[in-house]
Amino acid sequence: MAFSDFKNASIRCTYDNGLDANGKTKRKFKSYHNVKETAAAEGIFETAAILTNFGSKTLLDVEKQSAVTIYQ
**How confident is the model over 2-36, as pLDDT tens digits?**
999 999 999 999 999 999 999 999 999 999 999 99
Q: Distance between CA atoms of 43 and 29, rounded to whole angstroms? A: 19
DSSP string, the chain: --EEEEEEEEEEEEEEEEE-TTSPEEEEEEEE----TT--HHHHHHHHHHHHTTSSSPEEEEEEEEEEEEE-
pLDDT digits (tens, 9 = 90+) for 40-63: 999 999 999 999 999 999 999 999
Delimit the domains of the chain by residue range: 3-71
Q: What is the pTM of this model?
A: 0.84
